[in-house]
Amino acid sequence: MLRYGSVWMFSVQVSIYNKIGHPSKFNVGTDFHCFKYKIEPKWEDPVCANGGKWTVTYPKGKSDTSWLYTVWSKLKMLLAMIGEQFDHGDEICGAVVNVRKSLEKITLWTKNATNEAAQVSIGKQWKGFLDYNETIGFIFHADANRLGRGAKNKYVA
């Protein structure tokens, strides 16, 4: 697991970032986590426990020609994902890329799911960073944990 979040680590982060390949080249079953320093990529982490996630999904192999190509070819997008360019950047915990047999998904995890104004702002800004025109949804971690795939979006952007 790589941890980001300190300005003094920027040169090390860039060298690590340059070694990371495009998600479409990751093996099926890969989960790539990029979280702020001292935040674990799990629902049980005290910082994430009351949070939720925004999700964007693409059919397998389509990501490099759309948003993931932009995300992984420009450091600016990676920094935006971990909160440096969001109006409510303090709410961002990190991001996860999941590569599965039929899809590629990225989720942006946040701290306080009940802060609707902050969550909707983050969702709208994220869509702008991704140049993504489809509706995206936000699910509370507590709902996802309790209901699994039956969890419904609480907010949309």
Q: Where are the domains of the chain?
A: 2-156
pLDDT, residue 74, reads: 43
User: Distance between alpha carbon 31 and the CA centroid of its chain, in Å?
Assistant: 11
Looking at residue 7, what is its pLDDT?
A: 37
Share the mean pLDDT of the chain.
77
The arithmetic mean of pLDDT across residues 137-153, rounded, is: 94
Using the predicted structure, report yes or no on whether residue 73 has a pLDDT greater than 70: no
pLDDT exceeds 90 at position 119: yes
Quickly count helices (H) and strands (E) in the chain: 5, 7
Residue 24: band (very low, low, confident or very high) from pLDDT cuts 50, 70, 90: low
pLDDT bucket at 57, cuts 50 / 70 / 90: confident
Write the CB contacts of 104 (distance below 8 Å, at least 6 apart in sequence): 23, 24, 57, 58, 59, 60, 61, 62, 63, 68, 97, 98
Class of domain 2-156: alpha beta
Taking the whole predicted model, whether its pTM rises above 0.85 is answered as: no
Per-residue confidence band for 139, with pLDDT thresholds at 50, 70 and 90: very high
* Residue 116: predicted pLDDT: 98
pLDDT for res 12: 43
**What is the percent of the chain where pLDDT is above 90?**
34
